[in-house]
Structure 1
């Protein structure tokens, strides 16, 4: 299956959502409010989800959508100002949108896993977005538990010409490309297949709570890594591996979060990007990530993404640290 219609829609709505994020970043809307789990959320998170869901509803109304955000928070009276900012931002992209439309579009992301569904993260790396660093607008199509298409818009991602802003696209069996955020030629990308650990880079989250740094350091020593890990917020890390800027990414649960499972929207688009660029992604036990069971990767433990060449060696080092 070519997924041509899905590709064209995904590229269009992810680019539009990224434009909204860039607009909001220049306003007070770039400041965060806290969700029930204390994680930050901004006007851009809600606005981007509304744009993504509106496009999906219009072209694929029968496809469930599983997104990160929910508009329940916006019903609080003290957030009336935030709600109005979201509506106004969405209306700049979709002038006909009403306030009810925007809330309904956001809540369309409350779908359930089905044989075919979409999953999205309107802003992965909200803290990076707030700081003005890396973040990603992520969208993926899943069929029968396998990611078939993934798109990442990374407005702060560096390009070779010195500019910033990239859209990464991958379709199962069709490879991976990067496209300038403002549009232009799609350039095929591939992982760097180097295997000399002394010359390889691990990439990790800026936020230390996302992974067990102590275990990661021990694994680095076992592997013989000599360079300090690169740090990057969001799913953009998968883009760095797919493009050859880094070679491995490990997400090792901290002891206090041992039973915590990863969200599907935090990985789906990145998984297919790395795989179609020639790399490999599994959990820390070497099992493929299972996107068929719900909003969480309930059947998996942690995440490992590599250039593929070194994958088995990294898995061995991980097992030795258990």
Structure 2
């Protein structure tokens, strides 16, 4: 479906779109450039223009393909139906970390993945201000900043020492809010993250033990999930099943450097939810 040379061609498209639609607005947004799609869910003119440009260029690059983008789905949820269809699908988050982008922080990225029938084939994670680019090709490994990417080894994967990152407990599924406390009580170094795509880059390059993910929007995760898998990592839903792009996963799901790390985190969270109610 896609070759190493074509990985670079798509990377160039993503870089070009950032140069045209995203970076000129970085730290230059007006109030009228920002709107709210919902509580704590902003969108900017840069998000919308970048997604439109990516749709135009990616479907031209691969005729017959379609785009499932965050902004299109926010206007028409039926766009998600393409994930289980027969056509190649570009899964696009034009700006992952929009709140950071609005605040003038460079911790944002453009995420693109290519899938067919729910199976990931290739991905790109580009953080333009940080100067980072991660690419993955199914069955052929991952690269970050031009070098082969590999998750961190662990002497005891059941007791990881590198940070485990997650979203703030207010975003956790009902009944699992005690999971963060339980992980810390098990001596895991748990920290909150602000930009999902960048966290996947960090996990794929060995500076994280794992991520605990409490939501399943495919545009936030598709690129990173393939990047981590091709860097030797492991991903599973809370019930141990594979993570499905189309949703319906048992949350939270875990991406980690080792299968035993995933299993350990799953056990801690599941037991915390089944325990006695807090007084």
TM-score (norm 2): 0.82
Q: Say yes or no: does 1:135 pair with 2:97.
A: no
1:318 is matched with which residue? 269
Which of 90, 96, 103 is 1:124 aligned to? 96
Shift of 1:228: 4.9
SS of match in other structure, 2:128: strand
Aligned residues between the structures: 260
Q: Say yes or no: does 1:266 pair with 2:220.
A: yes
Q: Would the alpha carbon gap of residues 300 and 17 (structure 1) be closer, same or farther in structure 2, given more than 3 Å must change?
A: farther
Q: Would the alpha carbon gap of residues 131 and 177 (structure 1) be closer, same or farther in structure 2, given more than 3 Å must change?
A: same
Taking the aligned partners of 1:313 and 1:208, their CA distance within structure 2 comes to 19
Taking the aligned partners of 2:123 and 2:90, their CA distance within structure 1 comes to 10
2:277 is matched with which residue? none
1:13 is matched with which residue? 13
Q: Would the alpha carbon gap of residues 299 and 267 (structure 1) be closer, same or farther in structure 2, given more than 3 Å must change?
A: same
Q: Would the alpha carbon gap of residues 72 and 265 (structure 1) be closer, same or farther in structure 2, given more than 3 Å must change?
A: closer
Taking the aligned partners of 1:273 and 1:127, their CA distance within structure 2 comes to 24
Q: Say yes or no: does 1:152 pair with 2:125.
A: yes
Give the conservation status (yes or no) of the 8 Å contact 1:222–1:317: no
SS of match in other structure, 1:167: strand
Q: Would the alpha carbon gap of residues 16 and 209 (structure 1) be closer, same or farther in structure 2, given more than 3 Å must change?
A: farther
Give the conservation status (yes or no) of the 8 Å contact 2:235–2:256: yes
Q: Would the alpha carbon gap of residues 29 and 218 (structure 1) be closer, same or farther in structure 2, given more than 3 Å must change?
A: same
Shift of 1:72: 9.4
Taking the aligned partners of 1:29 and 1:7, their CA distance within structure 2 comes to 35
SS of match in other structure, 2:195: coil
Taking the aligned partners of 1:246 and 1:17, their CA distance within structure 2 comes to 30
SS of match in other structure, 1:301: coil
TM-score (norm 1): 0.72
1:285 is matched with which residue? 239
Give the conservation status (yes or no) of the 8 Å contact 2:29–2:102: no
Q: Would the alpha carbon gap of residues 119 and 2 (structure 1) be closer, same or farther in structure 2, given more than 3 Å must change?
A: closer
2:183 is matched with which residue? 220
Root-mean-square deviation (CA, aligned residues, Å) is: 2.7
Q: Say yes or no: does 1:246 pair with 2:218.
A: no
Shift of 1:66: 0.5
Gaps of 5+ in 2: 274-279
1:169 is matched with which residue? 135
Taking the aligned partners of 2:82 and 2:39, their CA distance within structure 1 comes to 21
SS of match in other structure, 1:310: helix
Q: Say yes or no: does 1:22 pair with 2:8.
A: no
Taking the aligned partners of 1:235 and 1:44, their CA distance within structure 2 comes to 17
